[in-house]
Structure 1
Amino acid sequence: MGSWDGIDSFIAVCETESFSAAATRLGVSTSHVSREVARLEDRLQVRLLYRTTRRVSVTDAGRTFLERCRRLVEEREEAFATVSESDGAARGHLRLTCSIAYGERFIVPLVNRFLLTHPQLSVTIDLTNRLTDLVGEGFDLAVRTGTSLDDSRLIAVRLASRRRYLCAAPAYLERHGPPGSLDDLARHQCLMGTADLWHFEDQGRQVSFRPGGSWRCNSGFAVLDAARQGLGLCQLPDFYVETELATGTLVSLLDHHRPPDEGIWAVYPHRRHLSPKVSLLVEYLKSHVGRL
Structure 2
Amino acid sequence: MGKNDHMGGINAFVMTAQHGSFTAAAERLGLTKSAVGKSVARLEERLGLTLFQRSTRSLSLTPDGERYLESCLNALEILEQAEAELTSHISRPSGRLRIDLPAAYGRKRILPLLLDMTQQFPELSLTVTFSERFVDLIEEGIDLVVRIGELADSSGLIARRLTSQKLVICAAPNYLKRVGAPQKPEDLQQHQCIVGFRRGQPISWLLKQPTGEVTRYTPPPTHELSDGDAMLSAVLAGCGLSQLPLWLVGEELRQGNLCEVLEGHSGGEMPIHALWPKNRQMLPKIRHVVDMLIEASQHGVLD
TM range (shorter): 0.7 to 0.9
Task: Tell me the CA shift for residue 16 of structure 1.
Answer: 4.7
Instruction: Name 1:219's counterpart in structure 2.
Output: 227
Instruction: Name 1:3's counterpart in structure 2.
Output: 6
Letter paired with 1:265? H
Within-5 A mapping of 1:19-30: 21-29=24-32
Larger Rg: 2
User: CA–CA distance in 1 between the matches of 2:44 and 2:265?
Assistant: 58
Match of 1:288 among 291, 296, 302: 296
User: CA–CA distance in 2 between the matches of 1:73 and 1:66?
Assistant: 10
CA contact (8 A) 1:199 1:259 kept: no
1:261 paired with 2:269, answer yes
User: CA–CA distance in 1 between the matches of 2:25 and 2:81?
Assistant: 22
Task: Tell me the CA shift for residue 149 of structure 1.
Answer: 4.4
User: CA–CA distance in 2 between the matches of 1:31 and 1:59?
Assistant: 21
User: CA–CA distance in 2 between the matches of 1:285 and 1:8?
Assistant: 33
Structure 2 CA distance for partners of 1:145 and 1:56, relative to 1, 3 Å: farther
User: CA–CA distance in 1 between the matches of 2:21 and 2:268?
Assistant: 40
Instruction: Name 2:131's counterpart in structure 1.
Output: 129
Q: TM-score, normalized by length of structure 2?
A: 0.79
The CA RMSD measured in Å over matched residues stands at 3.2
User: CA–CA distance in 1 between the matches of 2:6 and 2:86?
Assistant: 21
Instruction: Name 1:45's counterpart in structure 2.
Output: 49
Instruction: Name 2:257's counterpart in structure 1.
Output: 249
Structure 2 CA distance for partners of 1:37 and 1:169, relative to 1, 3 Å: farther
Match of 2:179 among 176, 189, 194: 176
Q: SS of the counterpart of 1:148?
A: coil
The count of aligned residue pairs is 289
Instruction: Name 2:203's counterpart in structure 1.
Output: 197
Q: Structure 2: which 5+ residue stretches go unaligned?
A: none
Task: Tell me the CA shift for residue 129 of structure 1.
Answer: 1.6
Residues 235-244 or 134-143, more deviating:
134-143
CA contact (8 A) 1:198 1:211 kept: no
Task: Tell me the CA shift for residue 3 of structure 1.
Answer: 3.4
Task: Tell me the CA shift for residue 160 of structure 1.
Answer: 1.9
CA contact (8 A) 2:84 2:283 kept: yes
Task: Tell me the CA shift for residue 230 of structure 1.
Answer: 0.8
Identity among equivalent positions (%) equals 34
Match of 1:167 among 164, 170, 177: 170
CA contact (8 A) 2:103 2:131 kept: yes
User: CA–CA distance in 2 between the matches of 1:184 and 1:18?
Assistant: 57
User: CA–CA distance in 2 between the matches of 1:207 and 1:29?
Assistant: 54
Instruction: Name 1:207's counterpart in structure 2.
Output: 216
Task: Tell me the CA shift for residue 111 of structure 1.
Answer: 1.7
